[in-house]
Structure 1
Amino acid sequence: MKKTGILNRRLAGELAGLGHGDGVLVCDVGMPVPDGPRVVDLAFRAGVPSFADVLDGLLAELVVEGATGAAEVREANPGAARLLAALPALELVPHERLKELSAGARLVVRTGEARPYANVLLRCGVFF
């Protein structure tokens, strides 16, 4: 049994299978989940687990070379905007464009976040 890091066996397994350039959509409960990508749904109740907690856990285990979020987050959800601002090579696009781009993700991790625009498409990098 793992004693640190992501303990959810399904999520840990999906993360282990990611490679350079793969996309991981971390999203709130309101984001439409596209057909195609594998989905790990962590949502339990509104707000649980939070976008911040899930993103923090993922960033501790993934190499991220870039990220895309919705431009609307700046005004609608300043807390999420601050989290996204710390990501490498962040690009903000209209929310509709983010939804289009999410269809190409390899993995979707759905949180319980119930505040608007708490969504980000992470692009995996390499550790060397």
Structure 2
Amino acid sequence: MKRSGILNRQLAGALAELGHGDGVLVCDAGMPIPDGPRVVDLAFRAGTPSFAEVLDGLLDELVIEGGTAADEIRAANPEAAALVESRLPELRLVPHEELKRLTSGARLVVRTGEARPYANVLLRCGVFF
């Protein structure tokens, strides 16, 4: 048994398959998920697990070069905006419709139970060397 880190077997396995440049969408419970990317659905109840918990857990495990979020996040969900802006110095903001379009190119989607709007970020994997 693992001692620490991500314990969910599907998520841990999916993370191990990621490479440089791969996209990982961390999304709220309402984000439409296109056909194509592998999906690990962690949603249990509204708010559980939270966007912040899942994002922080993933950032502890992955090397991330940057990310993309919807520019609507600032007005509709200032707490989530502050979170992604503080965690991702290389953050690009695009219209929500553009973020949804970009999601189709993600390698992995991690759905949270977050029930606040626009709590979505598309992470871009980096390398540790």
**Structure 2-normalised TM-score?**
0.98
Work out the number of aligned pairs and report it.
Answer: 128
1:114 aligns to 2:108 (yes or no) = no
Tell me, what secondary structure is at the counterpart of 1:109?
A: strand
In structure 1, what is the equivalent of residue 82 of structure 2? 82
Q: State the superposition RMSD in angstroms.
A: 0.5
Residues of 2 paired with 1:116 and 1:27: CA distance?
A: 10
Native 8 Å contact 1:28 1:51 kept in 2? yes
Letter in 2 for 1:81: A
Aligned sequence identity (%): 79
Check conservation: 1:51, 1:111, Cα contact below 8 A: yes
Which residue of 2 is the match for residue 100 of structure 1? 101
Deviations 1:88-112 (A, max 9, x none): 3100000000000000000000000
- The correspondence of residues 66-81 of structure 1 with structure 2, limited to 5 A, is 66-81=66-81
Name structure 1 gaps, 5 residues minimum.
none
Deviates more, 1:81-90 or 1:46-55: 81-90
* C-alpha distance after superposition, 1:25-64 (max 9, x if no partner): 0000110011100000000000000000000000000000
Structure 1 moving runs of 4+ over 4 Å: none
